[in-house]
A and B are shown apart, each in its own frame.
Chain A
Amino acid sequence: MKFQSQAVAKPYFIFALALFAGQILFGLVMGLQYIIGDFLFPYLPFNVARMVHTNLLIVWLLFAFMGASYYLVPEECDRELHSPLLAKILFWVFAAAGVATILGYLLVPYAQLAEMTYNHLLPTMGREFLEQPTITKIGIVVVVLGFIFNIGMTILKGRKTVINMVLITGLIGLAVFFLFSFYNPENLVLDKYFWWWVVHLWVEGVWELILGAILAFTLIKVTGVDREVIEKWLYIIIAMALISGLIGMGHHYFWIGPGEYWLWLGSIFSALEPIPFFMMVVFAFRMVRQRRHDHGNQIATTWALGTAVMAFLGAGVWGFIHTLAPVNYFTHGSQITAAHGHLAFFGAYAMISMTIISYAMPIMRGRPQGNPASAQKVERFAFWTMCLSMLGITLALTVAGAYQVALQRLPDDSMALSFMQTQAKLVPFYWIRLGFGVTFFVGLLAYFASFFVGQHVAESADAKKEEVCCGSCS
Chain B
Amino acid sequence: MADNFTKGMARNIYYGGGLFTFLLLCGLTFDTMLELPSRDHRENITESVALGKSLWEDNNCIGCHSLMGEGAYFAPELANVYDRYGQGNEDTFKQFLQSWMAMQPMAIEGRRKMPQFNLESHEVDALADFLIWTSRIDDNGWPPNKQG
A residues bordering B, Cβ < 8 Å? 30, 33-34, 36-38, 41-42, 45-48, 50-51, 109-111, 114-115, 119-120, 123, 125-128, 131, 162, 184, 186-193, 228-229, 231-233, 235-236, 238-239, 242-243, 246-247, 249, 253-260, 262-263, 265, 329-330, 332-335, 337-338, 408-413, 416-420, 422-423
Q: What is the minimal beta-carbon distance from A219 to any residue of chain B, in angstroms?
A: 15
State in angstroms the CA–CA spacing of A184 and B58 once bound together. Answer: 13
B-side interface residues, number (CB < 8 Å): 70
Q: Which residue of B lies closest to A110 (CB)?
A: B60
Question: In whole angstroms, what is the CA distance A228 to B57 when docked?
Answer: 50
Is there an interface contact between B140 and A260, defined as CB atoms closer than 8 Å?
yes
Interface status of B100 (Cβ within 8 A of chain A): no
What 1/0 flags go to B1-27 for Cβ under 8 Å of A?
A: 100011100110110011001101100
- 3 closest A-B pairs (Cβ-Cβ)? A47-B63, A126-B57, A333-B69
B31 to chain A, nearest CB (A): 8
Contacts of B62 on A, CB cut-off 8 Å? 47, 126-128
A232 and B10 within 8 A (CB): yes
Contacts of B11 in A (CB 8 A): 162, 235
The contact sample of 28 A-B pairs, CB cut-off 8 A, is A38-B110, A42-B105, A46-B64, A46-B74, A47-B60, A47-B74, A51-B63, A110-B60, A115-B58, A123-B54, A125-B57, A125-B60, A188-B137, A189-B40, A235-B14, A238-B14, A242-B14, A246-B24, A255-B139, A255-B142, A256-B70, A257-B139, A258-B36, A259-B35, A411-B145, A419-B75, A419-B147, A420-B112
Output the least CB separation between B54 and chain A (Å): 6
Cβ contacts under 8 Å, A51 to chain B: 60, 63
Query: Contacts A232-B7, A239-B13 hold; do A333 and B70 have CB atoms under 8 A apart?
Result: yes
The CA-CA distance from A265 to B147 in the complex, in Å, is 28
B145's partner among A38, A131, A258, A416 (CB-CB below 8 A) is A416
- Give the contacting residue for B56; candidates A36, A126, A337; CB below 8 A: A126
Interface status of B115 (Cβ within 8 A of chain A): yes
Q: Which secondary structure dominates where chain A touches chain B? A: helix
- Chain A residues contacting B68 (CB-CB under 8 Å) are 188, 192, 255-257
Q: Among the interface residues A34, A36, A109, A242, which one has the most CB atoms of the partner chain B within 10 A? A: A242
Cα–Cα, bound, A125→B60 (Å): 8
A236 contacts B10, C-beta separation under 8 Å? yes
Q: How far does the alpha carbon of A148 sit from the alpha carbon of B63 in the complex, in Å? A: 32
Query: What's the minimum C-beta distance from A5 to chain B, rounded to whole angstroms?
Result: 29
| Contact string against A for B residues 45-85, beta-carbon threshold 8 Å, 1 for contact and 0 otherwise | 10001100110111111111011111111111100000000
- A48, B63: Cβ atoms under 8 Å? yes
- The reply to whether B5 and A110 form a contact with Cβ atoms under 8 Å apart is no
Contact present for B115 and A45 (CB under 8 Å): yes
